[in-house]
């Protein structure tokens, strides 16, 4: 069963097309990451799926419930941690979680148990009675995630959930999100490529309001990167050697203490044999593994924060 489905979803703002005909199917229990440069349409898409914005055209459903025809049912089924955290700063952690739990009609015993669990997971137990106005940005982000999960939703939207967290806190959140895989459907946006790479079942890349690539991390790397790279630590390679290599391979770059050579179907042995034949002293050689960032730049021509 599809937990999230969109059909030709469009959103315009005063003639500006922010989301341009998105078709998506996210399976129940899947962790799906949506990547894109700033302004690509990620947050607008999430806001429509959460019934905060009405589509200009097209539609979407959450667990079979139409976002336009049945928004109240949809809101019962989802949890949201928005990009800009919306917290009551004059309240403490407990009070913010209680407020969210009461909105979703949780019984007090269930709410207390879930709140304790989430505060522990997010490293907020010792600050549970402190006003949110005293919190750092990272602490507010962690509380926002806890509030999205306190009512045990079936579908969770996490819009840049680890933005502003230190590495240790980010890893703790990753571990918690990983534990939710298969139990809940998660739509995640992030500016951390390694986050999408290690957590996602599938990844969609959005640019200028359109889905421009879709698949697992490995599928995207395999299908969208048409060259292999070899990093060589060496010395004694002269100008003639560089010129000869550039005449045969797509990219030949000088890097600190060596060369980087990239080409489609690169024959590593052939490169090494040639360099040895030219008297080049080779200290080490290793293939460079393709990254999700390589794919992203190849497809969009931009870095993630452009």
For the segment 234-289, what is each residue's pLDDT rounded down to a tens digit? Answer: 888 888 999 999 999 988 988 887 899 988 878 888 999 999 999 998 988 888 77
Identify the CA nearest to 80 among candidates 35, 125, 45. 45
17 has a pLDDT exceeding 90? yes
pLDDT for the residue 229: 86
What does each C-alpha distance from 26 to 17, 196, 200, 268 come to in angstroms? 23, 15, 12, 39
pLDDT for the residue 306: 53
305 has a pLDDT exceeding 60? no
Higher pLDDT residue, 288 or 210? 210
List residues bridging with 76 in a β-sheet: none
Question: The whole model's pTM is what?
Answer: 0.82
CA-to-CA distance for 277 and 288, rounded, in angstroms?
23
Which domains are seen in the chain, by residue range?
A: 2-223 (3.40.50.300), 226-289 (3.30.70.980)
Q: Are 189 and 158 in contact, with CB atoms under 8 Å apart?
A: yes
pLDDT for the residue 165: 80
Residues in the chain: 306
175 has a pLDDT exceeding 90? no
For the segment 53-63, what is each residue's pLDDT rounded down to a tens digit? Answer: 999 999 999 99
């Amino acid at each position: 069963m599809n937990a999230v489905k969109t059909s030709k979803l469009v959103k315009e703002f005063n003639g500006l097309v922010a989301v341009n005909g998105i078709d998506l199917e996210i399976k129940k229990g899947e962790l799906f990451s949506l990547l894109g440069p700033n302004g690509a349409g990620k947050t607008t898409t999430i806001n429509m799926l959460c019934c905060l914005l009405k589509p200009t055209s097209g539609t979407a459903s959450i667990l079979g419930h139409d976002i336009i025809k049945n928004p109240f049912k949809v809101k019962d089924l989802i949890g949201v941690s928005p990009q800009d955290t919306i917290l009551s700063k004059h309240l403490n952690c407990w009070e913010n979680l209680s407020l969210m739990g009461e909105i979703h009609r949780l019984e007090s015993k269930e709410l207390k148990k879930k709140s304790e669990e989430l505060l522990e997971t997010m490293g907020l137990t010792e600050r549970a009675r402190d006003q949110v106005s005293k919190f750092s940005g990272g602490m507010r982000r962690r509380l926002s995630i806890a509030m999205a999960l306190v009512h045990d939703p079936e579908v969770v939207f996490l819009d840049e959930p680890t933005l502003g967290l230190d590495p240790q806190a980010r890893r703790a959140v990753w571990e918690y999100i990983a534990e939710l895989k298969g139990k809940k459907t998660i739509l995640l946006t992030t500016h951390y490529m390694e986050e999408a790479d290690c957590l996602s079942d599938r990844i969609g890349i959005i640019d200028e309001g359109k889905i421009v690539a879709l698949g697992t991390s490995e599928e995207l790397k395999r299908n969208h990167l048409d060259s292999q790279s070899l990093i060589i630590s060496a010395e004694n390679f002269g100008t003639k050697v560089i010129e000869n290599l550039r005449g045969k391979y797509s990219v030949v770059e000088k890097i600190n203490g060596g060369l980087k050579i990239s080409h489609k179907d690169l024959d590593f042995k052939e490169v090494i044999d040639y360099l040895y034949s030219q008297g080049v002293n080779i200290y080490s050689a290793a293939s460079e593994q393709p990254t999700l960032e390589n794919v992203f730049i190849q497809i969009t021509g931009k870095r993630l924060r452009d």
